[in-house]
Structure formats: C-alpha cells, structure tokens
C-alpha cells in the first residue's frame, strides 16, 4: 500500500466515528463497472455501492443531467413546488403502478414514513394508538429507531432498546407464522420482497398472494420494502411485479438515484386519501431538485438502455456459473437469489474469501457471515461475470485450502 493511501486511512481512523470495519483501500474514481484506488489499481465491482450504481460509474448522460441541474438550483424546500420533483414523481408512479409519492433522503427514512403511514391509516379508522405491525425475522430495514424496530435481528436492536413498540415478528414464506402473530390490533404486515442483508431470501409467490388476500380481507396494509431489490435488480422494475402482487405501501431507495442520496415511499390512492396529511410528515431535503433530477434521468436511462433486458440475460448466466461453484467446492453449500441479487452460501465465514478477492482486484460483499452477496451494476456483461468467477474460484482455493476440497478434478469437470 502506498504511503499516501495509508495516510488517508490513518486520518480517517482519527476523524470518523468507528461504526464501520472498512477494507484497507481508498477508492478515488469509478468508470463503468470498475473502481480505481489512489494507486491507480483497478477493481471489478460486484457491489455497486450496495446495489446503488445500477447504471455503472460515470454514465455520461447521468452526469450531464446532474451538472445541468446544479447550474439551475439544488434546493428550495418543500414549501414550494419544483419541476424535477413533479416529473420524478410522475415517472416513479408510471414504473411502479402506485399513486402517491413522498421523497426522502434514504431508505431508512422511507421505512419510517411507511410505518407512520400504517399507524395513521389505522388511527383514522378507530382512533386507537396501540396498533401493531408484523415484520419478519432476519429482515433488515435500516438503522434509524423506527426502521430498526422492524428489523428482525435482535443483535441490531438490543443495545438501543426500547424500540418503538407493538412490533411482532413472523417468518418469511411461512404464512402460518404470520397468522400466529395477528391480533385485532394488527395494522400492517411489512417485509422485503427479497431479503438482502438477511441472506438473500426471496419471498415466494404463494406467500405474497396469501398475505395480499389476508390484508384485503382485514383492511390491513401490506408494505413491501424494495430498497435493495427494487429498481430493476430482479428483472422487473420492482420485485413484486414478477408476480403482480401489488402492495398498499412500498419503499424504494438505493438505485433510485444511482449515487445521489434519495429514497421514497409510495402508496395507493386509497391509503393516500386516508393517512398522512399536512403536518404529519416532512423533510427539509427530501424531493430537492438535484436528487429528483437524478431520479428522472435514472428512469429515463433504464428504458433507453434496456436495462431490464440486460438484467434478465446476464442474471441467468451469473446464476448458472454460481451453481457450478456449488458443484465444484465442498465448502459452497448452496446458491439462491433472483436477478442480479444473488447469494452464494458457504459452510464457513466468507471474510477471508472476500479479502483475497479484493487483493486480486474484485470487490465483493457479504450478507451475513457465511454468504457472499452479488449486487453488481445492472450494466454488467457476461465477460464481467467470467472475470468475477475466475477470481472468486482462485480466492476460494487460497482462503481455506483445507476446507475447500474440490468435488471434481479438472479433468472430471471437463
């Protein structure tokens, strides 16, 4: 490592609050699906800022749109209308099929808004303030107090108790476990359409349909978190659209702005007409012209560059190659996921494998201690997948040679 890169890392450790165990690298720039550190070393990026840079780095049209907006205005506050926010809301409604939009600065804030929407909806029905929300075990919705309250991992919550209260937890894809948590106070059922941080678990069509039917029967809100799995990552603009099971409320962020901090929670007209009103919710920066100019351009480029077609083509290729790794290595237990949100499950912690890959110029990230998560830019090619697989295979062999006995010899594999 160069002296200058080490100096920056040392300075970061003195100045930044130590809430992340960062890799020992300082990235300086990106181009396409590659990142470059301060020494000029190139890395193939299969993390994309944790599912953020859907269009890759340094997309010229995207960059130009932001520069043009900066030359106009970047902030006005929500006391006034601005054209990018109006256009972004219209485009987001078109691709989601939802009816009302509230722009936030992050995914966690979008979840906070969804929780408030559900409680206000229930309050207007019966005047009660003790309504309950059912969330899922192994879920992740953010680090703010409300989002943390519905995150189904006690480890994340225990130091910050008490949470907001009246939250019950069920098991994703186990409808009976949901029914077991229902009371006459239940106002919403909230879950990720594909669990990301929890280990890459997609909700099944059967589970989605059963929850939808139950919510319709009881006038309970179905809230889907599409922060990581939305915006094209699963091959449709939003993961629930694969099955046509529409939520009452939906959250989105990450790739919505492709690098500019922006999120949103959306709802149907029925929920919008019977929940939040003026004074119930707000944000200083949410919906600012710069962020919404990014949203507009992202949605435009998704269509122009036929991003969904590429996701569906390349994800099948990626899935096939990950399955081959399951067959090749004893330490690789299984593979799961959908679209370009994939996970490779090991029988051991994956930290050393990820570190080896980083040394070789490949950026990967985990989802739990034993899962490598693959969330690359949605513009990757089959050639990028080939490069990634080659480096990953080498990294698996080198990281734990005694526990990675290959099931087949090179000749048998051929």
Q: Across 276-377, where does the E strand assignment appear?
A: 332-338, 341-346, 362-363, 365-366, 371-374
pTM value? Answer: 0.95
Decide: 221 and 366 in contact? Cβ < 8 Å: no
- Consecutive H or E run containing 212: helix 205-218
Across the chain, what does the average pLDDT equal? Answer: 95
Query: According to the model, what pLDDT value does residue 401 have?
Result: 62
Mean pLDDT of 166-193: 98
pLDDT digits (tens, 9 = 90+) for 274-291: 999 999 999 999 999 999
Residue 317 to residue 220: CA distance in whole angstroms: 39
Confidence of residue 414 (pLDDT cuts 50, 70, 90): very low
Query: According to the model, what pLDDT value does residue 406 have?
Result: 54
Residue 56 to residue 52: CA distance in whole angstroms: 9
pLDDT digits (tens, 9 = 90+) for 285-344: 999 999 999 999 999 999 999 999 999 999 999 999 999 999 999 999 999 999 999 999
pLDDT digits (tens, 9 = 90+) for 260-275: 999 999 999 999 999 9
> What string of DSSP letters covers 261-276?
--EEEEE-HHHHHTS-
DSSP 135: E
Residue 35 to residue 24: CA distance in whole angstroms: 14
Query: According to the model, what pLDDT value does residue 410 have?
Result: 46
Decide: 375 and 51 in contact? Cβ < 8 Å: yes
Mean pLDDT of 144-148: 97
**Which ranges constitute the DSSP H helices of 60-144?**
60-70, 83-96, 107-126
pLDDT digits (tens, 9 = 90+) for 341-355: 999 999 999 999 999
Q: Which domains does the chain have, with CATH numbers?
A: 3-55+306-413 (3.90.1150.10), 60-304 (3.40.640.10)
Residue 97 to residue 310: CA distance in whole angstroms: 22
The token pair that represents 296 in the structure block: 């507009």
Name the CA radius of gyration of the chain, rounded: 22
């Amino acid at each position: 490592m160069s002296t200058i890169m080490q100096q920056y890392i040392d300075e970061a450790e003195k100045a930044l609050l130590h809430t992340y165990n960062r890799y020992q690298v300082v990235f300086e720039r990106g181009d396409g699906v590659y990142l470059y550190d301060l020494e000029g070393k190139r890395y193939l990026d299969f993390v994309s800022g944790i599912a953020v840079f859907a269009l890759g780095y340094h997309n010229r049209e995207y960059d130009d749109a932001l520069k043009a907006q900066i030359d106009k205005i970047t902030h006005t506050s929500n006391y006034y209308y601005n054209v990018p926010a109006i256009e972004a809301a219209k485009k987001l409604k078109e691709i989601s099929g939802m009816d009302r939009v509230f722009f936030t600065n992050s995914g966690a804030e979008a979840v906070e808004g969804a929780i408030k929407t559900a409680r206000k909806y229930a309050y207007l029905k019966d005047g009660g303030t003790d309504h309950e929300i059912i969330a899922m075990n192994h879920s992740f919705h953010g680090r703010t107090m409300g989002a943390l309250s519905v995150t189904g991992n006690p480890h994340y919550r225990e130091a910050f108790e008490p949470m907001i209260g009246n939250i019950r937890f069920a098991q994703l894809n186990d409808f009976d476990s949901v029914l077991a948590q229902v009371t006459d106070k239940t106002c919403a059922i909230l879950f990720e359409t594909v669990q990301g941080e929890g280990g890459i678990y997609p909700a099944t069509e059967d589970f989605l349909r059963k929850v939808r039917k139950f919510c319709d029967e009881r006038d309970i809100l179905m809230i889907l978190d599409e922060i990581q799995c939305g915006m094209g990552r699963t091959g449709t603009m939003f993961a629930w659209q694969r099955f046509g099971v529409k939520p009452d409320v939906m959250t989105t962020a990450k790739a919505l702005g492709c690098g500019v901090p922006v999120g949103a929670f959306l709802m149907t007209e029925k929920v919008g007409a019977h929940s939040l009103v003026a004074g119930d919710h707000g944000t200083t920066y949410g919906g600012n012209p710069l962020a919404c100019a990014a949203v507009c351009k992202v949605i435009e480029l998704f269509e122009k560059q036929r991003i969904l077609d590429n996701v569906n083509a390349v994800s099948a290729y990626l899935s096939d190659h990950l399955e081959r790794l399951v067959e090749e290595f004893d330490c690789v237990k299984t593979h799961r996921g959908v679209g370009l949100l994939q996970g490779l499950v090991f029988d051991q912690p994956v930290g050393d494998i990820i570190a080896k890959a980083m040394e070789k110029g490949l950026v990967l990230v985990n989802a739990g201690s034993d899962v490598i998560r693959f969330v690359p830019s949605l513009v990757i090619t089959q050639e990028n997948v080939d490069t990634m697989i080659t480096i990953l295979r080498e990294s698996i062999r080198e990281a734990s040679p005694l526990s990675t006995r290959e099931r087949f010899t090179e000749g048998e594999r051929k």
